[in-house]
């Protein structure tokens, strides 16, 4: 059994630019103590090799399911032009819940483009008999940059709403990637098992 998901990975030059941006963010806002909340929040940036845009989480899959999944990957990729991916801002997440992460969010158009690819993947996976949990919610493009094990006490989203529009981050995605997640005590590590090139 393998813990699988389908994602779009970032080019190395985009990862380098993101690394430069996050070093400029004042992380003291996450770690600040106050009289009413004397303990520190526990916070860590994820390594760049863990940055990706997840489209579908497939969960644990038997080895015999990998062949059909790869066929779906190839069929979907050939149905779509290489998508333009544009990021807008860095925010606390999720909204309206205890904050657990820092996200880099995609533009509305990026979310719409990837939602269409995601829908095609889901429909074709179901047609090919692949079992997975189908999410019944709209798709908002984002990738996780950091996680909190203890949420920040000053948890208003306005503490982190970092626009990157003055120096846009965008790229053209080249492939859909089948990823395997390896869980360790120190966190998850991800491996690309196979890729399908967009047309």
Rounded to whole angstroms, the Cα distance separating 14 from 70 reads 26
Please give the Cα distance from 122 to 39 (Å, whole number).
43
Q: What was the pLDDT predicted at 101? A: 87
Element (H, E) at 121: helix 108-127
- 53/104 Cα distance (integer angstroms): 10
Query: Domain 2-21+42-197 sits in which CATH superfamily?
Result: Cyclic phosphodiesterase (3.90.1140.10)
For CA atoms 4, 110, 140, 169, give the dihedral sign: positive
CA angle at 48 for the pair 13 and 68, rounded to the nearest 5°: 95
Domain boundaries, the chain: 2-21+42-197
What pLDDT score was predicted for residue 162? 66
The answer to whether the CB of 75 falls within 8 A of the CB of 126 is no
* Half-sphere exposure of residue 162: CA atoms within 13 angstroms, side-chain side: 20
Per-residue model confidence as pLDDT tens for the chain (199 residues): 999 999 999 999 999 999 988 887 755 555 544 444 444 556 788 999 999 999 999 999 999 999 999 999 999 999 999 999 999 988 888 877 777 888 999 999 999 999 999 999 999 999 999 999 998 889 999 999 988 877 666 544 444 566 675 678 999 999 999 999 999 887 789 999 999 999 9
Q: What's the pLDDT at 16?
A: 94
For the chain, list the strands marked E by DSSP: 2-9, 42-45, 52-61, 84-93, 101-106, 142-150, 161-163, 169-172, 175-184, 187-197
Q: Which two tokens stand for residue 190?
A: 């991800």
Encoding tokens for residue 126?
């179901």
Tell me the whole-structure pTM to 2 decimals.
0.87
- Report the pLDDT value the prediction gives residue 187, as an integer from 0 to 100: 78
């Amino acid at each position: 059994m393998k813990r699988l998901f389908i994602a779009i990975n970032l080019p190395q030059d985009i990862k380098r630019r993101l690394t430069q941006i996050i070093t400029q963010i004042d992380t003291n806002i996450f770690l600040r103590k106050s009289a009413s909340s004397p303990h520190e929040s526990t916070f860590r940036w994820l390594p760049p090799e863990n940055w990706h845009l997840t489209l579908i989480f497939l969960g644990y899959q038997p080895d015999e399911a990998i062949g059909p999944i790869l066929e779906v990957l190839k069929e979907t990729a050939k149905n779509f032009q290489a998508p333009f991916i544009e990021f807008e801002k860095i925010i606390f997440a999720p909204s309206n819940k205890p904050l657990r992460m820092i996200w880099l969010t995609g533009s509305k158009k990026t979310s719409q483009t990837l939602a269409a690819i995601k829908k095609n993947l889901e429909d074709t996976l179901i047609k090919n008999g692949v079992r997975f949990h189908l999410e019944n919610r709209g798709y908002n493009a984002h990738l996780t940059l950091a996680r909190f094990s203890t949420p920040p006490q000053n948890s208003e989203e306005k503490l982190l709403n970092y626009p990157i529009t003055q120096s846009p981050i965008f790229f053209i995605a080249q492939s859909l990637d089948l990823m395997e997640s390896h869980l360790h005590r120190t966190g998850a590590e991800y491996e690309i098992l196979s890729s399908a090139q967009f047309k």
